[in-house]
């Protein structure tokens, strides 16, 4: 439940930040680019670790 509340607050804050004009568009684009890049790298790292674990489990079986 706590994680859903945090997610709702973050989404509401992000929507408000974009619609209010408090943050300039350059900041928003830079932030989303950095966030997207970090999520992409985390996904690639997860896939790499999964492949290593799958190969190790296949070798033991």
pLDDT digits (tens, 9 = 90+) for 7-58: 999 999 989 988 998 989 999 999 999 999 999 999 999 999 999 999 999 8
28: CB partners within 8 A, 6+ apart: 17, 18
The dihedral sign for the CA sequence 28, 30, 34, 37 = positive
Give the pLDDT band (50/70/90) at residue 59: confident
Phi-psi region of 26 (alpha: psi -120 to 50; beta: other; left: phi over 0): alpha
Instruction: Write down the pTM of the prediction.
Output: 0.67
Secondary element (H or E) of residue 57: helix 25-60
Q: What is the pLDDT of residue 60?
A: 80
Beta strands (DSSP E) in 1-61 are none
């Amino acid at each position: 439940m706590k994680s859903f509340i945090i997610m709702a607050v973050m989404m509401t804050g992000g929507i408000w930040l974009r619609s209010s004009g408090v943050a300039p568009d350059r900041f928003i684009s830079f932030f989303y680019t950095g966030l997207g890049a970090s999520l992409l790298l985390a996904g690639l790292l997860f896939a790499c670790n999964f492949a290593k674990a799958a190969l190790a489990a296949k070798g033991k079986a």
